[in-house]
Structure 1
Amino acid sequence: MAARQRSIIPMIDVNYKQFSPAEKKVADFFIANDEDVDMSASAMAERLFVSEATLSRFAKKSGFSGYREFAFEYRNQKLKKRSAMTNVTKGVLSIYEDLLNKEYDLIDEKQIDRIVKYISQYERIVVCGKGSSGMAAEEMELRFMRIGINIDSIVYEDRMRMQTVFMNKKCFVIGLSISGTTEDVLYMLQAAHRNRARTMLVTAYNREGLSDFCDEVVLVPSYQRLDYGNAISPQFPLLVLQDIIYTKYMQSNHYIKEALHGNTLKALRRN
């Protein structure tokens, strides 16, 4: 039986802690890289602002005789991995790539900063959605409650309508609807707006009249009939936006929020 070829990324991962800061910079690049780049030592040293000696030390710590062997194996594995992919796999990955590229164009940094400010200011956060958007709402509750945010997710239509009674100027209400037409979500936002709550809709389709009852309309990318889930999960653009908001929020008072997150995880441990 032929010897099994070593997989490079796991080799980098298991040796990561012994890398110097400069070597970690090299490791981070090769772990994340998905481009066809000039792998020569001189070109890579210039690209990463490190010395060729750093590249050599990094390769040896990763289990190779030197950078030349590492570069050869790395390129071979990348080529084999791509050639082994089926058209279906390539198609799905290209959709994700397309959505992320669209996100770059749609994201409004100033709007994200305002949303982060609202999350900090308001006493109660309510996020609602149905179906896949409801799952994204529940994920948002789980993530933010771990860092001390008073947040509830509402995914059933009866609860959405009942909860509007309790919306007031101390609430920040977030609706998730890829289509932008989910009746119960729009009803909740309209009622919350009438009760002077801050309101926000996350959608892939900007429609006339949304700004009448939404203080913020946040646009996320869509791909064909993404709202029906027949290409990839409709949650994907919603979760990407959540990650951006969560990361921005964590940047302020980072240590306090990390400590809260750590404490909630400890509380989940049984022993």
Structure 2
Amino acid sequence: MKNSRYIIFNQNETKGQIEAAQSDMTQVEHTIANYFLNNEELTDFSSKRISALLYVSEATLSRFAKKCGFKGYREFIFAYEKDLKEEKNGTVSEKDISLFTKKVQSSYQKLLQENFKLLDENQIRRIAGLLNVSRRVFVYGMGSSGNVAEEFQLRFMRIGLDVTAVTDSQMIQMSAALVEERMLVIAISLSGTTREIVESIRIAKSRNAKVIFITANPAPETAARCDEVLRVAYLKNLDTGTKISPQFSILVMIDILYSYYFANDSYFKAQKYKETLSAIQGKHKGAMEDVKKGENPE
């Protein structure tokens, strides 16, 4: 039954928006949501009838519609009826791409604004200082946060930082158990609750390593173990129905940190960048010559 509902929501955008907004709803609003999610018939959806049917006020229906991303109940019902007709007919009309372009643009703008509200420039200076004095740096992340960890490694390694991204759950635990004083651990978890990441922070701190936690939602007990907690923005149900990368806010903070870190002692770091770039290009050139000679570049 759960799978069939998932298929329906894929075809019915309005129901998808209701489901996406449920985590922020009150108990009364959940009652309204369940009604519209389970309904499959076109009927009288007037606010007067639905409020009487569900024993809620018309004002509550309006608040519910706004939580689902609509201006009001009337706009919600217009979209709901349209999608319900398409769902019953087994057809889905092609959406206007410009509408989604505007939604994505708006989402990123809001996320950027929230991110810069959280930015603490003094903290960026302190973190850059930790990068400078640390003998080795380990960046832990899983899933999409693991992709961010690998991006961090790629960028900072090119300018001379001894940094390793660790993205496998078991390897994260083993790495944390081997870190030492004068080493730095950067743990990334947008939710702040990834069990392996939280545990790695505890282990690394017990080994006297410095720890930076990049997250949108640090639990107090985890934050207390960290030398720095770099807060990033995460807007729940932002433009519900539109999918954007939640890791975007972390990448923005890393861009700021990278720019500041590179600007200090820029000559040395620029030289390291040239050396790494030259090494990459040299390997590529050698491989191409081997191919021309008919040799295996491996």
Class of the TM-score when normalised by the shorter of the 2 chains: 0.5 to 0.7
Q: Is the 8 A contact 1:133 1:234 kept in 2?
A: no
Is the counterpart of residue 223 in structure 1 residue 235 in structure 2?
yes
Alignment of 1:53-132 (within 5 A): 86-132=98-144
> In 2, distance between residues paired with 1:180 and 1:211?
9
Q: Indicate how the Cα distance of structure 1 residues 156 and 230 shifts in structure 2: closer, same or farther if over 3 A, else same.
A: farther
Q: Is the 8 A contact 2:138 2:185 kept in 1?
A: yes
2:193 corresponds to: 181
> In 1, distance between residues paired with 2:207 and 2:131?
18
Is the counterpart of residue 155 in structure 1 residue 167 in structure 2?
yes
1:165 corresponds to: 177
Q: Is the 8 A contact 1:225 1:231 kept in 2?
A: no
Structure index of larger Rg:
2
- The SS at the match of 2:138 is strand
Is the counterpart of residue 258 in structure 1 residue 270 in structure 2?
yes
* TM-score, normalisation: structure 1: 0.66
- The SS at the match of 1:102 is helix
- The SS at the match of 2:193 is coil
Q: Tell me, which stretches of 5 or more residues in structure 2 are unaligned?
A: 1-95, 286-298
1:245 corresponds to: 257
> In 2, distance between residues paired with 1:194 and 1:259?
36
Of 129, 136, 145, the residue aligned with 2:148 is 136
2:216 corresponds to: 204
If asked which structure has higher relative contact order (CA below 8 Å, sep 6+), I would say: 2
AA aligned opposite 1:99: L
* TM-score, normalisation: structure 2: 0.60
2:59 corresponds to: none
Q: Indicate how the Cα distance of structure 1 residues 152 and 230 shifts in structure 2: closer, same or farther if over 3 A, else same.
A: farther
Task: Report the Cα offset of residue 144 of structure 1.
Answer: 0.7
Task: Report the Cα offset of residue 85 of structure 1.
Answer: 6.5
Q: Percent identity?
A: 35
Q: Tell me, which stretches of 5 or more residues in structure 1 are unaligned?
A: 1-83
Task: Report the Cα offset of residue 178 of structure 1.
Answer: 0.5
